[in-house]
Chains A and B, each alone.
Chain A
Amino acid sequence: MSILLGLTEDGKLYIRRSDLERLAERLGSTPEELAERLGAREEPAGRGSRFVLDDPLGFLLSKVLEVEARLRRLEEAGGMGGVKRAEEGAMGDARRVGPSEFEEALRWAYSQARGPTGYAPIRAIMRLVSSKLGLSEAQFAEALAAFAEANRGRVLLLQGGDEKVYIGGRAYGYIKLL
């Protein structure tokens, strides 16, 4: 989906009404609601209308500050509870977990998924850890790579398996924690 942004005669950014309608429809909103959230005002243009952003830079800055303040409030609200995780997930924020928090979740997931040889399918581990900590696949891979590097000889990764996860340039299907 592409949106055409234009400049008015006096150098302000504008979005055509038809584009804003398509964007609003995609976001499950109305053009008027979206215009209000974007800080845009409607003005006639030719036979239709357009939405003009009077101060886009100021608007972006205010939004950044608003998000920052919201995050601070959530952090102050206490720990790394589910509300914060949900907020972070909804905002697509890069979830960061500490090594000990990751290890705890990893060991719990491993205890749930390991089989008779002591190896566990890494996909199952990833699903359990990610659902517990609210991590994306990339964040899980990054955290596991760091954990494996810090615990060489105590984390074994096997390359075989039907479902694999890429860690440090290699695809692995099973994991064992010693």
Chain B
Amino acid sequence: MPTKAAFVRKDMLAPQEPPVSERGAIKWARENLFSGPLNTFLTIVGVLAVFLIVKSALPWLLNGVWNANSMAECREIVAARHGEGATGACWAMVRERWHQYLFGFYPQELFWRPTMAFGLMFVALAPVLYFGNRTINMRMTAVAGVLTILALAGVSASFPQTIAGSEAGGLALLAAVIVFAGLTAVAWMAPRRLLILTLLYPAIGFYLLWGGSIWGPVGALAGFAILAVVYNLTKAQLGVVVATGAGVVVAAIWWLVVQSHVTGALHSILPLGTAHVDSDEFGGFLLAFVIGVTAIAASLPMGILLALGRRSDMPLIKALSVGFIEFIRGVPLITMLFTASLLLQYFLPPRSNFDLILRVIILVTFFSAAYIAEVIRGGLAALPRGQYEAADALGLDYWQAQRLIVMPQALKISIPGIVSSFIGLFKDTTLVALVGLHDPLQGVTKVVRAAIEWKGIYWEPYIFVGLIFFACCFSMSRYSMYLERKLKRDHR
């Protein structure tokens, strides 16, 4: 007998759409743009500001002229097309001077060398950035190869008097195709083998960029071989740390004192080499990349050692690390660059003619390493003590514990900070303008503006250079996010 309160549902209700004000764009706008009087007001002000900026900048951007030979011609074309008083960007300058922004005053017939070095850099980076990932390694190598070959072809087409104009040009292009095809095959079959290229790349890159006698980079590599030999011979008696120190000292003696005599002698016996390019001729993004990439690659290991040194139990090592870090962080980068261009010469043995770019790289590396050391120290401090104890209890020695347990975790924690430092360092390379090098932002722009035909150009170079810097820095930032995601291990 059913009571009055009984209820039985006969038809089940189908789900319905939420009301219009609760879905899609309307809901989003209500919640994010117009959630109250203040936010409504700010939204209107914001939209107005964006509108005004676009209104004043858009015509300038859209009226841009790509084909002209001078600033005056640009202005004439804009006036003719859009009427008197119209503004327009003069991108023709970029079209005309792009090679200076990329290569500075590098000899035009040798543009293939920095292009090749740039392409190979990505191949050398692939196994480091995407360790153990065969597909990405191979793709990155192949893409770098294709782009490099296209760039080589493009450069040759733009400068017909260069190497491509001759028969040798065709051969060089063919050689590049073979090199990159070979590297792609290596990346596919044995991605770890690419690390050999990574290790050799500093010498290859150096030789491609500066050229000269082949014995120079060979001698520099021999220094590393000497380091390895001394280390292996003395490791058993002296222990890892002292043996490394001894190796470094002997290698330094070789590099600074002996090497030039030996390579000089070898060169007189067997003069192998290509055209030498002087550091004065470097400029533009070539310079920014040479300084930036070298300093980034060198400052990470140095930063790690400094961070470990700062936490060391050994008072001398600790004092040296703290002193170095605090001194470098306390001094403006500009001061260091002036030191590089003027003072460093005094501290080096007489007649050792240290290249200015090399000196700048060394000091930029020191500068960046000090910051990286502090970032990594933060990561080290975040590791629980139990991790060190577990490593100790298992019988791992100090360096094994650091390499296998501590650093992988500390570096992972420090990735955002480290990449921030790297991005800052890369942008700081523009400061080398102050010691007379032709960085893309200041140095090359000054040269371009000094030319009669581009007198009066203002925004275009900065926008062009800014966009390239943005692309580089944004890629680094995205890579760091990728790495963080990839190394995420706590699935809680």
**Do the two chains belong together in a single complex?**
no
Q: Interface of A with B (CB < 8 Å)?
A: none
